[in-house]
A and B are shown apart, each in its own frame.
Chain A
Amino acid sequence: MAVPKRRTSKSRKRQRRTHYKIDSPASSLCSNCGQVKQPHRVCPHCGYYKNRVVVEVTE
């Protein structure tokens, strides 16, 4: 059975892992209240989506 000839060094391991990243979630501004919200989602701040009230936001 094939086995590694060399143990993976700390350097190699860390170089490999530099590409393990997570992206921050996409964001957009609410067209109604201007606050940051996720795109294609009902605005959690004002309850607007596509220029109309969708849900009541309880403060």
Chain B
Amino acid sequence: MRHMKKGSKLNRTASHRRALMSNLITGLITHERIRTTKAKAREVRPLAEKMITFAKRGDLHARRQVLRLIKDKEAVTKLFDILGARFKDRPGGYTRILKMENRNGDNAEMALLELVAEEVSKGSGRKRRRRSKKKTAPDAVARAPQAEAAGEQSAETQAPDRQETVAGEAAAETETPAAAEQQPEAEAGEKAAEENKQD
């Protein structure tokens, strides 16, 4: 009876799991982006975010609490000096998980775990990015000539749809701009993806 069934043990003993988390977080702090299995990424993410929250606090007690888990002093220095300042204004949601193709060999689900780099996007910024993307679509088709047929088809069939999506989103944003801005970016992105899919 594992009551609330929280998290995964990742087939490891407690000490092994703790060491794994420590290593993954150290890697994430050092490289800002790590490629790992989806299960590990999902396990390490909350812990990594807690470390960044400690870093934002910045006092000696917070540093010692982080050092309990992260043994690499250089990484902790970077965490407190650089990352703490970087995420000063971000209320949580410092990391992002992007799913990737399954791994060759054991077909494990892979994911990228990365520190969220850009600013909290305003509604206008998001729209601008989306429009500029549309312009780049044609040369993307040219870059993949072997998929010409598929590319042309998708460009033709999807372009009008996307315009509608942008228009629809713009309308939605004017209605509730504050709500749209406050949404964490990952969540908003997922929503947008779902909308695209429905089209």
Binding site for B on A (CB under 8 A): 28-36, 38-42, 44-46, 49-52, 54-55
Q: Is A35 a contact of B112 with CB atoms below 8 Å?
A: no
Knowing A35-B144, A50-B189 touch, does A29 contact B158 (C-beta < 8 A)?
yes
Interface residues contributed by chain B, number (CB under 8 Å): 28
Chain B residues whose C-beta falls within 8 Å of the C-beta of A29 in the assembled complex: 150, 154, 158
Chain A residues whose C-beta falls within 8 Å of the C-beta of B99 in the assembled complex: 40-42
Q: Show 8 residue pairs from A and B whose CB-CB distance is below 8 angstroms, ordered by the A residue.
A: A32-B137, A33-B141, A34-B153, A42-B101, A49-B98, A52-B129, A55-B100, A55-B112
Chain B residues whose C-beta falls within 8 Å of the C-beta of A54 in the assembled complex: 98, 112
Q: Is A35 a contact of B101 with CB atoms below 8 Å?
A: no
Q: Which of B112, B129, B140 contacts A42 (CB 8 A)?
A: B112
Q: Is A51 a contact of B197 with CB atoms below 8 Å?
A: no
Chain A residues whose C-beta falls within 8 Å of the C-beta of B162 in the assembled complex: 31
Q: Is A33 a contact of B147 with CB atoms below 8 Å?
A: yes
Q: Is A34 a contact of B193 with CB atoms below 8 Å?
A: no
Knowing A42-B98, A42-B100 touch, does A50 contact B193 (C-beta < 8 A)?
yes
**A22–B140 alpha-carbon span in the complex (Å):** 34
Q: Is A34 a contact of B101 with CB atoms below 8 Å?
A: no
Residue B61 at the chain A interface, CB threshold 8 Å? no
- CB-CB nearest in chain A for B150: A34
User: How does the 8 Å CB contact mask read for B129-171 relative to A, with 1 for contact and 0 for none?
Assistant: 1100100110011011001001111110010001000000000
**A29–B140 alpha-carbon span in the complex (Å):** 13
- CB-CB nearest in chain B for A48: B140
Q: Is A35 a contact of B150 with CB atoms below 8 Å?
A: yes
**A32–B145 alpha-carbon span in the complex (Å):** 13
Knowing A42-B100, A49-B98, A54-B98 touch, does A34 contact B151 (C-beta < 8 A)?
yes
**A36–B151 alpha-carbon span in the complex (Å):** 10
